Structure 1
Amino acid sequence: MTRSVRTRRPVRLAAVGAAALLALSACSSSDDSDSGSGKSDPSASASASSKVSGDITVFAAASLKESFTTLGKEFESAHPGAKVTFSFGGSDSLAASITGGAPADVFASASPKTMKVVTDAGGNATAPATFVRNQLEIATLPGNPDKIASLKDLTNKDLKVVLCDKTVPCGAAAEKALTASKLKLTPVSYEEDVKSALNKVVLKEADAAVVYKTDVKAAGSKVEGVEFPESAGAVNDYPITLLKESKNTETAKAFIAFVQSAEGQKVLTAAGFLNP
């Protein structure tokens, strides 16, 4: 019995030692596996993040002012090393500035026609993509004191009505709606962009203006919106593109991707834009 006890003890010790070695081996194997798995490499992540940095300039249609300002802040928050500077205005004047050599990285237009001015000018831009659409609405004074209920009502000679200039997308869309309805309207003024047209009503210098739904929404209680069915036949597509003269293409591409992302689209649709 004594011999039996002595022979079992070394066997038990050997077994324990083997188990410990196996455990250590397993831990080592697991560590090696983790290092070669799909887990993010901090240095690789930092390298990717560093590409989205620096300044970019975005030329964007005036109707995008509120939503793009929000998107710019969110983009900068997601990429602390990046800064977005915006230039808002009528799409036609922005296109003219770009073709004239104004430095910019991204162009977001309120119509394919004004975008084409840029893409046709010596290959200034890459292939544009539609990211949202916009529809017209009548902006009246708060409470709609003139009881405007249709596009035809704007032809009343006693009303002071403002339109965007025909060369800018909101003006071209209004003209299209009026022509389709066989209505003739003589405005008190043609404005250089949609914000200028809306501002005439806000300042009570006009009784009504034909602008975008997004601008009526952005103005809040300062105006009242009146929908009209003819606007459905004059919806504007909004294209966005990377400009070939961009000095910071990685960050410019990242901003465009953000605008087109689910997060970007959420901001835009909340502002009243339609899905592309």
Structure 2
Amino acid sequence: MIRPFGTLATLAAGALVLATAACGSTAGDGTSSGSSTSSSSGTSASGTSAALSGQITVFAAASLKKTFTAIGAEFEKAHPGTTVTFNFAGSSDLVSQIQQGAPADVFASADAKNMAKATTASLTAGQPVNFASNTLEIAVPPGNPAKITSLADLAKPGIKVVVCAPAVPCGSAAATVERAAKVDVKPVSEEQSVTDVLGKVASGEADAGLVYVTDVKGAGDKVKGIEFAESSSAVNTYPIAALKRSTNGSLAQAFVQAVTGQAGQGILAAAGFAKP
């Protein structure tokens, strides 16, 4: 079972119970593991909501680790007998795994591009729903030893910068802001997830890294964040969808509704995510 993640996990816990209590509809070709009397709409013959049970695996962008862990913990509390397991990684890696048949019930991407790969391959059960957005921020080690103050500083000789690989949403966003600002950053490494970038900055292996606002906030005093105006040229929108191959479609759809509902949105907002 997943344990709550600090204060994020407790935020609007009561509201999450209300927001997800009625979630019982099937998603796509998935099947419900609830009562045998439940219909395709997730209700029993008497018209009451069918109980949710069983487990699902959620493939989610690395930048969602803290918030989704919190939402998952509260979801399990709201629905005793359910288990939510997560696979956090770069969105491009996740969609490749799904395309190759990896068992997953829900996919949450850090951009529309990688979600489109799933929808084009008819892997999603219905249309994805946008649930959050995020922008880039410069992360530097505590004390900012390289004295970084702007995006242009990242292009200075001798500055060790780490970014995400171009195929990863945070890497694509980095390339967009560089073009908009006419800044040519030459990174010392390109990572497969935003958390890897953050880790190298926090450890002092890099002078700076381009990560999301939410990653800087979540890292606490491990890094310092530097805002830059050009970040507005690349706002990443996050979509989520239940998957057709889900073995528990009702539970998968209920989790999607928990993320997009009031309590899930409250947890995301507390972490620094903006509305989609």
TM-score w.r.t. the length of structure 2 is 0.82
Larger fraction in helix: 1
Matches within 5 A, 1:162-173: 162-173=162-173
Give the ranges of 4+ consecutive aligned residues of structure 1 lying more than 3 Å apart after TM superposition: 122-125
Bigger mean CA deviation after superposition, 164-173 or 152-161: 152-161
3-state SS, counterpart of residue 265 of structure 1: helix
Matches within 5 A, 1:209-224: 209-224=209-224
Which amino acid in the other structure matches residue 154 of structure 2? L
Structure 2: gaps spanning 5 or more residues = 1-44
Structure 1: gaps spanning 5 or more residues = 1-42
Residues 141 and 203 of structure 2 are in contact (CA less than 8 Å); yes or no, is this contact kept in structure 1? no
Identity %: 53
Question: Does residue 153 in structure 1 map to residue 153 in structure 2?
Answer: yes
Whose RCO is larger (CA < 8 A, sep 6+)? Answer: 2
Q: Where does residue 28 of structure 1 map in the other structure?
A: none
Which amino acid in the other structure matches residue 213 of structure 2? K
Q: Where does residue 9 of structure 1 map in the other structure?
A: none
Which amino acid in the other structure matches residue 145 of structure 1? P
CA shift at 1:148, angstroms? 1.1
Residues 198 and 209 of structure 1 are in contact (CA less than 8 Å); yes or no, is this contact kept in structure 2? yes
Matches within 5 A, 1:1-276: 48-50=49-51, 52-276=52-276
Change (3 A) 1:44 1:218: farther
Residues 141 and 201 of structure 1 are in contact (CA less than 8 Å); yes or no, is this contact kept in structure 2? yes
3-state SS, counterpart of residue 68 of structure 1: helix
CA shift at 1:123, angstroms? 4.2
Residues 112 and 237 of structure 2 are in contact (CA less than 8 Å); yes or no, is this contact kept in structure 1? yes
Residues 135 and 213 of structure 2 are in contact (CA less than 8 Å); yes or no, is this contact kept in structure 1? yes
3-state SS, counterpart of residue 49 of structure 2: helix
CA shift at 1:49, angstroms? 4.8
Instruction: State how far apart, in whole Å, the 1-side matches of 2:209 and 2:54 are.
Output: 40
CA shift at 1:165, angstroms? 0.3
Instruction: State how far apart, in whole Å, the 2-side matches of 1:221 and 1:179 are.
Output: 30
